[in-house]
Structure 1
Amino acid sequence: MDTVISSNLPGIEVHGKSIRVVFMHKGVRHRHTLGIEPTKANLKHASRLRSAAMYALKTGAYDESEFFPHSRQGDQAGTASKRLGDLSERYMPLKAVDITAETQNRYQVALNACLNTIGRNRLADALIPADIQQLRVDLIETRAVSTVNHYLATFAGFLYWCEQNHFCAEDLAKHCTRFTKSNKDPDPFTYQEYNALITKGCLHPVDAASVTLAFYTGLRPGELCGLAVEDIATDLSKLTVRRSVTQSLTFKIPKTNKERTILLFPPAQAALKVLIEDALTRDAMDLEVWLNRHESRVDRARLLLSPKTQARKTDVNAWYVPSAWNTKWSNLTRRAEVRHRPPYQTRHTYACWNLTARGNLAFIANQMGHSDYSMLVKVYGRWIDSESPRELGRIWQGMKKLVQIAPNLPQ
């Protein structure tokens, strides 16, 4: 019996010491290993079997177990499960156990955008680098760079999972190259703009106090909305950031996954008096704060900011979500006739005001929740005056004090 090592028959492959039948139907590739030697006679038999199977598929009489009873299990599962859409439905529940529900929603939106663009019915093992490169081209046509980069990062994670499980070719994920994004400098408010917001933009004392607190603490909008009376020291000297509000009305721990303490300037202390007085008119609530996907804690607290304070309707939520705070902020800037910037710029303003006043970098970084001051240097470099004659004079005064303490030092 002569063994052949190749086949010129359509859809018939020599797979080691066996024969593999391959055919497509409605965009799905079927692949079955027959377990018979690749002789000329067996190759012709495989070709006839393939033709019969394809005909049965077209007429609706196809029974896979009848045509390929000895096909390997991996081949019987076939490539129907290798459609990108089907694979994504297997992937997301596995990914979801390690992320929050909020993040899962963001990932799902990103993955759906990529799948809808590249084709949900595409077979993973048929993808080539050019397909990923075309995806990048298609995505960037109608989306911002930051959005596309988020989509590509999410899709790269999905492709890497496909690679690890042998659903697609290796090294596809590395072609999800992110686009270069220009670094936008912070756009802080001037003190004159801040004053206009307080005097012209805010029509209610609570609004003025909220804006003041945002400018003089550097809190992120979600952290500001999640701040409670119980987070404030009784002498108003400091506050502790323990939670943040998400867009889905839930609470989570701060961005750095740990609490931080902020020492308060006098304007922030005055603002807190107003906010605490208002918050004490409301009952404390049990707030479920998610630590991760599977664990949470309950904080008994009175939130400082609530839409109920100025609501005309009785049925309103008990706390702000970031989008609602954004809407209020837009109204404040409009009335104040101040150039609109997102409310996150109050955090940038806090950093820039501190740096312009020549505050200690390590102290400012700690106040803002950074692990070190490298982020300050990177983001706010032009507000750090590194060549000021005043700084030289300050250092010289410190040196002279050292000389007084240790007179043997050279003068």
Structure 2
Amino acid sequence: MGRKSETGGVTPLGDRIQVRFSWRGRELRPTLDIRPTAANLKHARRIREAVVADIRAGVFNLAEYFPDYKFAEKHTADALGRTFRQWADLWVELSARNLEDSTLRIYKRHLAAYWTAAFGDDMPKAVTHERVLRHLARLATEHLDERTGKLVKPLSRKTQNNILIPLRGVFELACKADPHLRNPTDGIDNLKVQKAQPDPFDPEEVEVILAALRERFGDEYADYFEFACFAGPRPSEQIALLWQDVDLRSGVVKVRRARVMAKDKERTKTAYEREVELNARALAVIERQRARTQLKGEHVFRNPSTGRPWNDEQEQRKVWVIALRTAKIRYRPPKECRDTSVTVALMAGADPLWVAKQHGHSVTVMMKDYARWIPKADRGRNLETLNRALGVVDSAVKPQLSEA
């Protein structure tokens, strides 16, 4: 009788020991290939306790505890029987916790356009490494869309890298649930992409552009871009700037939030709040904005055409394109106003560390991306400073160098 009684979810079964527990709404009864002695039954109960603890923690692996369980594949298939589309939907749902809303919306579009369209009804194990590579190769070349019959342009290397991010996320999630599933994105590295260097406007170009903006679209549009060129916030930071962030007495604004896709978020791109000391041109813009927007709402800059806060940084692009065309200035995107602010400060002789802090750059970025503008402002001052510290005058240096 004792051998047939059940104790703590562990039961003798012939010359084996059966372990009973519930997993994902189903009762499982795998067995351990050990004789049901008193010591082994005690050991089996400890195994069951570990299984229950892993189930509660969400890390239970059936194959790890019961590798020869004959119904393992059935239960795994029942638990993991989601299609790729279902796994993608789950990943989007779970990623809402740690991804920005704007980023998640982009990844959701990438999944729908490039991955679920191709693999949506397949089980994850059917999406092999080769299939992913073949699909990427097709996206990287010009081809006909089978549904529309239209010619589809190849994706850029940068876009190919970007669409792989959510795909990797989906398979990382699926592989955690099924340790036997091979991740088909393993070994698919990002393509090398040439990084665009800063392409700022020179001071003369800035004045011509601002004049064109004032003439074609009015002072408020011109002031928006004047602030961008002389204070240098990111576009998402400028449209999110609130009057509560402005200290007119000290001439400082706090950059602590951004606005992307019509949604404000209480952090910048780098998640660091910074103070920006306004130069005379930027401060003059803020003073003019007081009469326009301070009594109308929280935002310093508003769309002059609608009277409402800017939704995103794309809304100004049409005005910008027309202004550059009118001014006969080579086109560069509005984000180059920020690079213009950096380079104007450097060429004026401002300390690069201060410039980096003003614009929310790291010192590494400042010295790597903008170093070529620093010598233009130097005019020999750094060498002169070094020579003074060494107790050497300029006239005495040249003969020594020539003799060397």
TM-score, normalised to structure 2, is 0.69
C-alpha RMSD of matched pairs (Å): 3.1
Quick check: 1:212 aligned with 2:212?
no
Aligned to 1:384, the other structure's residue is in SS state helix
Of residues 177, 181, 193, the one that matches 1:181 is 193
Shift of 1:378: 2.2
Name the structure 2 match of 1:65. none
Of residues 317, 324, 327, the one that matches 1:336 is 327
- Mean Cα deviation higher: 322-331 or 114-123: 114-123
Q: Deviations over 1:209-239 (max 9, x none)?
A: 2222111111111111111222221225211
Q: Distance in 1 between matches of 2:212 and 2:389?
A: 44
Shift of 1:173: 2.9
Distance 1:359 1:130, change over 3 A: same
Name the structure 2 match of 1:306. 302
Name the structure 2 match of 1:147. 159
Name the structure 2 match of 1:41. none
Name the structure 2 match of 1:231. 245
Quick check: 1:201 aligned with 2:218?
no
Shift of 1:147: 1.6
Distance 1:200 1:91, change over 3 A: closer
Q: Distance in 1 between matches of 2:213 and 2:308?
A: 23
Shift of 1:71: 5.4
User: Counterparts in 2 of 1:7-406, with a 5 A limit?
Assistant: 74-75=74-75, 77-78=77-78, 81-116=81-116, 118-141=118-141, 142-166=154-178, 169-203=181-215, 204-235=218-249, 237-280=251-294, 282-284=295-297, 301=298, 303-307=299-303, 309-311=304-306, 317-370=308-361, 372-385=362-375, 389-400=380-391
Q: Distance in 1 between matches of 2:165 and 2:360?
A: 26
Percent identity between the aligned chains?
19
Q: Distance in 2 between matches of 1:229 and 1:399?
A: 49
Q: Deviations over 1:23-65 (max 9, x none)?
A: xxxxxxxxxxxx9xxxxxxxxxxxxxxxxxxxxxxxxxxxxxx
Q: Which amino acid aligns with 1:173?
A: T
Distance 1:152 1:195, change over 3 A: same
Shift of 1:400: 4.8
> Are the equivalent residues in 2 in contact too, given 1:157–1:173 (CA < 8 A)?
no
Distance 1:246 1:76, change over 3 A: closer
Where do 5+ consecutive residues of structure 2 fail to align?
1-29, 31-69, 142-153, 393-404
> Are the equivalent residues in 2 in contact too, given 1:153–1:178 (CA < 8 A)?
no
Distance 1:322 1:336, change over 3 A: same
Shift of 1:395: 2.3
Distance 1:233 1:399, change over 3 A: farther
Aligned to 1:240, the other structure's residue is in SS state strand
Aligned to 1:350, the other structure's residue is in SS state helix
Shift of 1:122: 2.3
Shift of 1:269: 1.3
Aligned to 1:324, the other structure's residue is in SS state coil
Aligned to 1:375, the other structure's residue is in SS state helix
TM-score, normalised to structure 1, is 0.68
> Are the equivalent residues in 1 in contact too, given 2:277–2:358 (CA < 8 A)?
yes
> Are the equivalent residues in 1 in contact too, given 2:119–2:127 (CA < 8 A)?
no
> Are the equivalent residues in 1 in contact too, given 2:262–2:310 (CA < 8 A)?
no
> Are the equivalent residues in 1 in contact too, given 2:241–2:300 (CA < 8 A)?
yes
Distance 1:310 1:173, change over 3 A: closer
Q: Distance in 1 between matches of 2:95 and 2:104?
A: 8
Aligned to 1:245, the other structure's residue is in SS state strand
> Are the equivalent residues in 2 in contact too, given 1:241–1:261 (CA < 8 A)?
yes
Q: Distance in 2 between matches of 1:71 and 1:304?
A: 65
Q: Deviations over 1:236-281 (max 9, x none)?
A: 521111221111344442112232100111111111111122113x
Shift of 1:104: 1.7
Shift of 1:392: 0.7
> Are the equivalent residues in 2 in contact too, given 1:216–1:268 (CA < 8 A)?
yes
